[in-house]
């Protein structure tokens, strides 16, 4: 994954260079033509990205980069914004932000419209994430229902913002009938904020002393389940969902005897110290696989290249443990909630 990060950084810099070269000509175009040609240029370097234009050149323009809600490409959006040249004559924004005043928001396909008031929701916690039940206030044909469900996900992007819709919402279940506690969809931002706060996701880096929880999973050969001991930094929960803490670096090592276990703890201590340095990241989880004799430690970070480089040095230092490091983009910390 880190190699993809480097490739994306290179592609983003190439895009910005080409964009600046063409900007004088692009600025003379109408808004629609600007978006069309801007996206043609962007797709030459990052084909999964989309550029949108908000405002106007005279009173203030903003270029919005979006991954169309596809989490797999969110890191490309962030890299495009991070690599923007200095002193651009416009603002640059990562992801579509939530729209204001969505009480009458609607979208449609052809002549068929779906209004936000046509959708009801119930929100609750499931597997440590907000989960939604969605119901519609009108009857649909089978074809219309499929369209309505797809359009609901588009609405979530507009109501919550693209990043929050993907990173802060877990399961979404469509139900036939709404219960009495269902609410109109335009109230979802307030309800999500309240539940997110209840889950302790403040976005504030936790103060020492941190709290840890331990869980054990028994071996089950029939279901191919290894015996695991998981130690989780419960205090790190406050940072879950923060866009700048979406990268996860891990180090795994093999344990053959008691001496290896002690050495692995030394590796973990050094890795965690690097991860937590200057609040650029935080240790999140350690997993001891008793069946395989493998220990893996995880940390979320805002500086994946720096932490990964330190992890590679540790792997060389602890080569006797066959230590290996890995980096992935994990915006809703699936590794932490396993």
Instruction: For residue 60, name the pLDDT band (cuts at 50, 70, 90).
Output: confident
Q: What are the structural domain ranges in the chain?
A: 2-94, 102-198, 212-329
pLDDT score of 1: 72
Q: Does residue 209 have a cis bond before it (omega within 30 degrees)?
A: yes
Token readout for 176 is 């036939």
pLDDT score of 324: 97
Give yes or no for residue 143 having a pLDDT over 90.
no
Q: 94 forms bridges with which residues in the sheet? A: 65
pLDDT score of 223: 86
Token readout for 288 is 């001891």
Rounded to 10 deg, the angle between the 304-317 and 2-26 helix axes is 160
Highest mean pLDDT: which range of 20-34, 56-70, 282-296: 282-296
In this structure, what are the phi and psi dihedrals at residue 170, rounded to the nearest 5 degrees? -90, -115
User: DSSP for 244-285?
Assistant: GG-EEEEEEEE--SHHHHHHHHHHHHHHHHHHHGGGSEEEEE
pLDDT score of 278: 96
Rounded Cα distance, 251 and 314, in Å: 9
Q: What is the mean pLDDT of the chain?
A: 94
pLDDT score of 198: 97
Rounded Cα distance, 257 and 263, in Å: 10
pLDDT score of 338: 75
Rounded Cα distance, 64 and 89, in Å: 14
Tell me 225's DSSP state: B
CB-CB contact of 321 with 312 (8 Å): no
| Mean pLDDT in residue range 307-325 | 97
pLDDT score of 42: 98
pLDDT score of 24: 92
Q: Strand, coil or helix: what is 85?
A: coil
Instruction: For residue 252, name the pLDDT band (cuts at 50, 70, 90).
Output: very high
Rounded to the nearest 5 percent, the helix, strand and coil shares of the chain are 45, 25, 30
Give yes or no for residue 12 having a pLDDT over 90.
yes
CB-CB contact of 65 with 45 (8 Å): no
Token readout for 93 is 């924004």
Token readout for 228 is 């695991």
**Among 24-33, 191-200, 272-281, whose mean pLDDT is lowest?**
24-33
pLDDT score of 85: 95
Instruction: For residue 57, name the pLDDT band (cuts at 50, 70, 90).
Output: confident
How many residues are given for the chain?
338
Q: Which CATH superfamily is domain 212-329 in?
A: EIF_2_alpha (3.30.70.1130)
Residues in CB range of 48: below 8 A, 6 or more apart: 67, 70, 73, 76
Instruction: For residue 326, name the pLDDT band (cuts at 50, 70, 90).
Output: very high
pTM value? 0.89
Token readout for 31 is 């808004």
Render pLDDT for 66-116 as a digit per residue (tens, 0 to 9).
Answer: 999 999 999 999 999 999 999 999 999 999 999 998 998 998 877 788 999
| Mean pLDDT in residue range 170-194 | 96
């Amino acid at each position: 994954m880190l190699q993809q990060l480097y490739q994306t950084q290179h592609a983003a810099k190439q895009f910005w260079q080409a964009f600046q070269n063409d900007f004088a000509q692009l600025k003379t175009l109408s808004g629609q033509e600007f978006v069309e040609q801007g996206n043609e240029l962007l797709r030459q370097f990052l084909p999964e990205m989309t550029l949108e234009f908000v405002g106007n050149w005279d009173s203030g323009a903003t270029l919005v980069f979006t991954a169309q809600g596809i989490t797999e490409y969110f890191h490309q959006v962030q890299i495009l914004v991070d690599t923007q040249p200095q002193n651009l004559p416009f603002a640059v924004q990562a992801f579509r932000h939530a729209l204001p005043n969505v009480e009458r928001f609607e979208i449609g396909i052809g002549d068929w419209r779906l209004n936000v008031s046509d959708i009801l929701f119930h929100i609750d916690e499931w597997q440590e994430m907000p989960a939604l039940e969605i119901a519609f206030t009108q009857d649909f044909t089978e074809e219309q229902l499929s369209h309505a469900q797809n359009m609901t996900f588009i609405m979530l992007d507009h109501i919550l913002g693209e990043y929050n819709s993907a990173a802060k919402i877990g399961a979404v279940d469509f139900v036939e009938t709404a219960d009495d506690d269902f609410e109109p969809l335009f109230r979802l931002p307030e309800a999500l904020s309240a539940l997110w706060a209840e889950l302790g996701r403040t976005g504030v880096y936790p103060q020492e002393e941190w709290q840890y929880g331990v869980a054990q999973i028994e071996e089950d050969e029939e279901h191919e389940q290894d015996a695991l001991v998981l130690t989780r930094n419960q205090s790190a929960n406050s940072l879950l969902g923060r866009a700048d803490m979406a990268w996860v670096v891990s180090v795994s090592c093999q344990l053959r005897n008691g001496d290896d276990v002690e050495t692995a703890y030394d590796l973990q201590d050094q890795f965690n110290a690097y991860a937590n340095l200057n609040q650029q990241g935080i240790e999140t989880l350690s997993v001891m696989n008793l069946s395989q004799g493998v220990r893996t430690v995880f940390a979320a970070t805002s500086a994946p290249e720096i932490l990964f480089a330190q992890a590679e040095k540790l792997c060389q230092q602890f080569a006797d443990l066959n230590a290996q490091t890995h980096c992935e983009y994990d915006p809703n910390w699936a590794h932490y909630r396993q």
